[in-house]
Amino acid sequence: MASPERKLKILCLHGYRQCGVTFRERTGALRKMLKSMAEFVFVTAPHAIPGSEDLEIGKQYGWWFSDSSCYDCNAETCVDIGFDDSVEFLRRVLKEQGPFDGVLAFSQGASFLGMLCRMQMSEPEVFNFKFVLLVAGFRSLQEAHQRYYSAAKMTIPSLHMIGDTDKVIVSSRSDEFAEMFENPDIIRHPGGHFIAASSAQKDGFKSFLKRFV
């Protein structure tokens, strides 16, 4: 457990078409309500999305692509371009910036984190998180990733945030994803594809994180 003299250190993995900076901005309310308990470290996936340059927000990034140049969370393909590079990138982050108590991840980042949780079961010396916070998580449909979804449930403590009206990752996919974890904590909200931060969600996050401080 974390020492009571310090805050929990949480690594943050953004969603597709985001980066560390934009994810930090979009988690402002969450960071504010948890500032007494945790510090957050944001990183950017190593793969820039081709043609994604935006004058206001800059380039957008992803953890892997489901075809030659983009990612579709609904595509069942045999392609996962960049996935292995992203795993190696996270290995370097953990070595150079860790250790981390836990990980917060959103959308494609949460799908990626789910597979890292499976890796942790065989490589605890590398992936040694105490807990994970998964928002709009889902099971990857890429053929090469199905090996991470064995019948055995992942035992790492997990908190799942699910938006009942999420049109990007429908709630049934996030429900199925949560069932892959042993005794998952679940926070539901009536909204869509974002991190909700009302008083109800605040209480849920704090109650979960108190187990690790």
145 part of the active site: no
Rounded CA-CA distance 212/102 in Å is: 9
List C-alpha distances in Å: 6 to 36, 97, 212: 10, 16, 11
Check 14, 47, 80, 107 and give the catalytic one.
Answer: 107
Cα separation, 187 vs 205, whole angstroms: 8
Q: Where are the alpha helices (DSSP H) in the chain?
A: 20-26, 28-33, 83-97, 108-122, 171-178, 199-209
Catalytic residue among 166, 174, 185, 189: 166
Yes or no: say if 17 and 52 are a contact pair by the CB < 8 Å rule. yes
Give 188's DSSP letter: E
How would you label 190-212 residue by residue, b for 16+ Cβ within 10 Å and e otherwise? Answer: eeeebbbbeeebbebbeebbeee
CA distances to 3, 4, 7, 70, 182 from 210, rounded to whole Å, are 12, 11, 11, 39, 19
Is 166 assigned a catalytic role?
yes
Catalytic residues: 107, 166, 193
